Structure 1
């Protein structure tokens, strides 16, 4: 047994002895489209933006991310309205929407555009 395998085996023994919970599964395996549900605590674990999740998500996955579970019909109605305001349309090749662009649209819609910089100065600083 090499050193790495020995460390993994030792950690497994310690985890079993002290009942350390297993880490949540990778978000791409989650049917909720990026949210991993932690059943022991009843909460959800949100994943980072660079978690290697799929970039193109189905309408169901986007509805779950934006509005929560069982919201497919509500998302369909909102998407039809928001597409007129700039929500990215469904890509004809993938049959899905590009999630980063959807997220950027929603952030812009709610005033969270992080890329916007002031275009004029606000005056001289007063340090007194």
Structure 2
């Protein structure tokens, strides 16, 4: 499966296969967990998948292909900060 062969809305199984390939397709769940709150297009419940052009745009952005500043790496600081605030409350 190639990215160009995806329907306009694709489920995570198809996206994983097209983007990561057959041997790594199951790792897509980890990718989603890492990037979903950082701009990865959400699943559209009505369409049954993610809007594929927006997924491509997101991937281009985080890899610096779109000419914008590179996407900052996640270092876990956000999680530590949230835990700190939770413990202080």
Q: TM-score range by the shorter chain?
A: 0.5 to 0.7
Runs of 4+ in 1 over 4 A off after TM superposition: none
Deviations 1:27-82 (A, max 9, x none): xxxxx2xx3xxxxxxxxxx85xxx7x521112111101211114343101111111
For the residue of structure 2 that corresponds to 1:69, the secondary structure is coil
Deviations 1:8-32 (A, max 9, x none): xxxxxxxxxxxxxxxxxxxxxxxx2
- In the alignment, does 2:46 pair up with 1:93? yes
Q: How many residues align?
A: 68
Aligned with residue 19 of structure 2, among 66, 71, 75 = 66
**Using the alignment, how far apart are the partners of 2:26 and 2:16 within structure 1?**
9
When Rg is computed on C-alpha atoms for both structures, the one with the higher figure is 1
Whether the 8 Å contact between 1:59 and 1:72 is mirrored in structure 2 is no
User: Which gives a bigger RCO, structure 1 or 2 (Cα 8 Å, sep 6+)?
Assistant: 2
- Give 1 or 2: higher helix fraction: 2
- In the alignment, does 2:30 pair up with 1:102? no
**Using the alignment, how far apart are the partners of 2:23 and 2:32 within structure 1?**
15
TM-score by length of 2: 0.65
Supply the RMSD in Å over aligned alpha carbons: 2.1
TM-score by length of 1: 0.47
Q: Which runs of 5+ in 1 are unaligned?
A: 1-31, 36-45, 117-128
